[in-house]
Structure 1
Amino acid sequence: MSTIRPNGSLYTKIENSIATIEFGHPASNSFVSELLERLTKEFEKLSSNDEVSIIVLKSEGDRAFCAGASFDELVAISNLEEGKAFFSGFANVINAMRTCGKPIIGRIQGKTVGGGVGLAAACDYTFATEAASIKLSEISIGIAPLVIAPAVERKLGKSGLTELSLAPTEWKNAYWAKEKGLFSKVYDSIAEMDKELDFHTQKLASYNPEALGKMKQILWEGTGHWGDLLLERAEASGKLALSEFTRNALSKFKK
C-alpha cells in the first residue's frame, strides 16, 4: 500500500455476513471530501446487499480513530458553495449510516475529534479502547459542530453535547463516553477489544437479518427530517467558516 495517499483509502471485506469497512488517511485518519463521498456510497451499497447482515466500521492503524474533516480543505474554503459542500461530507455519511438497512458496529481504537465523534455517534453499537478519548474542537477554531450535533445529542443527550462543545480544548476519556452512552464497551487493549468484537459480531450475524433490519429502523425512529436538517446545518457551518473571525483563527492555528 502506498504511503502517499492524499485522498486516503477505503477497503471493504465481506465474510460470514459481516462487512468490514476500513478507512485510512496519513493525517490521523482524517477525511478529505472524496473519502467521505466514497464512505457514503459504500454504506448505501451495503444497505441493499443481501449477503450482509452487519457492518463494522474501523480505521487504519493503532493510534487515532479519526481526526475529523481535512484541515487543509477547511482552510481552502473561499465561498459559500464550497463551504456547504465541505460540511455536507459528514452530513451525507451520517444520513447514509442512519438510513442503512444494517446495524453498524463501530471499532474505536484511539482518539477521536470533531466529525470522528459524529461517526462514532452514528454507529448503532460501539467497541472502544481506553485510549479512545474524544473532543469536539470546532468552537476553538471559529466554527461549531452543527452538522454532527444531532447524532452526538442522540447518543449523549443535550448535556453531553454541551460538555463537549463548550469545552473545545478538553479531552473526555473513554469511560466518560461510555457513561454518557456513546460507547457500548470499553477495553484495556486493542487485542482484547478485537477479540470481543469478533465474538459479538459473529453471534449477531447469525441472527435473523430481517429482525436486525427492523430493529435498526426502530433505533432511528424520529430522525426522518435529518435529510434536510443536516444539509441546512452544513450551509450554516459554511457561513461560519467564511467569517473574518474564523479566517483569522484558522490562519493562527495553521502557523
Structure 2
Amino acid sequence: MNNDGKITTHLHNGVATISFYHPKSNSLTKKLLKELTAAVDSFAKQKNAKVIVLRSEGNKTFCAGASFDELLEINDFKTGKDFFMGFARLINAMRKCPKFIIARIQGKCAGGGVGIAAAADYTLASSEASVRLSELALGIGPFVVGPAVERKIGSTNFITMSIDAEWHDAFWAKNAGLFTKVFATIDEVDDAVSKLASKIAGCNPEAIEQLKKVFWHGTESWDKLLEERAEISGKLVLSDFTKKYIQQFKTNK
C-alpha cells in the first residue's frame, strides 16, 4: 500500500464506487481530499454512473479525520485555510452531485469522517462505527463539517458532539439521524449497500436529480459559508494549543 494513501474508483452496472485509503487510520490529507472531490465531480458528470458508493478500505477505522502530520506542518493562515478548504470542497461536491451518494461506514468515524457520513444522502454503518467530533479537544472546532452534521442530526445533538468531544456508539448515531441503518457485521453492511445501490441504479435519474435538489434545499449559501468556516479553522490551527495537543497525541500513541 502507498504510504501517502490512495483513491480508487470503479464503475459497474451503474454503480460507481469511490474508495479511499491511508495507512494512518484512513486519515485525510490535502491530496486525498482533492482526489476524493475530483472523483465525486467526475462521476457526477458521467451518465452511466447512476449512484455513488463512498467507502474506505480495511475493516477497522472508516476515517480518523484530518491528517495530524499535515496539521503540524501548517505554519501560516493561507496554508491552513487551503487545507480545510479541502473538506469544504468535498462536502460541497457531495451536496451538488445530482446522484445519490451512499456512505459505507465500517468502523470508527472522527472529525472530517463524520462530515463525510453526514454529507452522504444515505449512510449505512456497522455496529462498530462509533463517531466523534474531536476538534474542540484539538483546539479547533468542527467548523467546516458543522453545517453538514447539524443538518443531519439537529442542533442539540450537534452541540452535544461538539462540546463533549467523546465517542458515541453507532446506535446513538442512528438515533440522532447520522446513520440511516446499523448492521451487526461488515458483511451485512456490504450486502445492504449492494442491494440499495443496485435498486437506485434502476431508478429514473431525472427524478433522483430533482429529489437531490429537494433534499438539499436551503444550502445554497454553503459555498461561501464553508469557506468562512475554513478561514476560522485555518487561524485556530496555528495556535500553540493545537500544536502542543497534536505533538502530545503523536508522542503518546
Q: What band does the TM-score fall into relative to the shorter chain?
A: over 0.9
Q: Would you say 1:132 and 2:129 are equivalent positions?
A: yes
- Offset at residue 193 of structure 1 (A): 1.3
Contact kept? 1:80, 1:242, Cα under 8 Å:
yes
Partner of residue 217, structure 2: 221
Q: Would you say 1:30 and 2:27 are equivalent positions?
A: yes
Q: Would you say 1:89 and 2:86 are equivalent positions?
A: yes
Structure 1 unaligned residues grouped into runs of 5+: none
Cα distance between partner residues in 2 of 1:193 and 1:60: 14
Q: Would you say 1:54 and 2:45 are equivalent positions?
A: no
1:181 to 174, 177, 183: 177
Partner of residue 165, structure 1: 162
Count of residue pairs the alignment pairs up:
251
Paired amino acid for 1:250: I
Cα distance between partner residues in 1 of 2:77 and 2:191: 46
- Offset at residue 148 of structure 1 (A): 0.3
1:244 to 228, 240, 243: 240
- Offset at residue 58 of structure 1 (A): 0.6
TM-score (norm 2): 0.97
Contact kept? 1:53, 1:212, Cα under 8 Å:
no
Partner of residue 228, structure 2: 232
- Offset at residue 245 of structure 1 (A): 2.5
- Offset at residue 6 of structure 1 (A): 3.3
- Offset at residue 82 of structure 1 (A): 0.7
- Offset at residue 16 of structure 1 (A): 1.0
Task: Trace 1:104-123 onto structure 2 (pairs within 5 A).
Answer: 104-123=101-120
User: What SS class does the counterpart of residue 176 from structure 1 fall into?
Assistant: helix
Cα distance between partner residues in 1 of 2:62 and 2:169: 14
Structure 2 unaligned residues grouped into runs of 5+: none
User: What SS class does the counterpart of residue 217 from structure 2 fall into?
Assistant: coil
Partner of residue 141, structure 2: 144
Contact kept? 1:117, 1:136, Cα under 8 Å:
yes
Paired amino acid for 1:27: K
Cα distance between partner residues in 2 of 1:201 and 1:86: 32
User: What SS class does the counterpart of residue 166 from structure 1 fall into?
Assistant: helix
Contact kept? 1:121, 1:182, Cα under 8 Å:
yes
Deviations 1:133-183 (A, max 9, x none): 000111111111100000000000001111111111x21011111111111
Partner of residue 100, structure 1: 97
Cα distance between partner residues in 2 of 1:19 and 1:248: 41
Q: CA RMSD in A?
A: 1.0
Paired amino acid for 1:50: K
User: What SS class does the counterpart of residue 237 from structure 2 fall into?
Assistant: helix
Cα distance between partner residues in 2 of 1:224 and 1:189: 37
User: Following superposition, which runs of at least 4 residues in structure 1 exceed 4 angstroms of deviation?
Assistant: none
Deviations 1:28-47 (A, max 9, x none): 11111001001111111111
Percent of aligned positions with the same letter in both sequences?
49
Contact kept? 1:21, 1:55, Cα under 8 Å:
yes
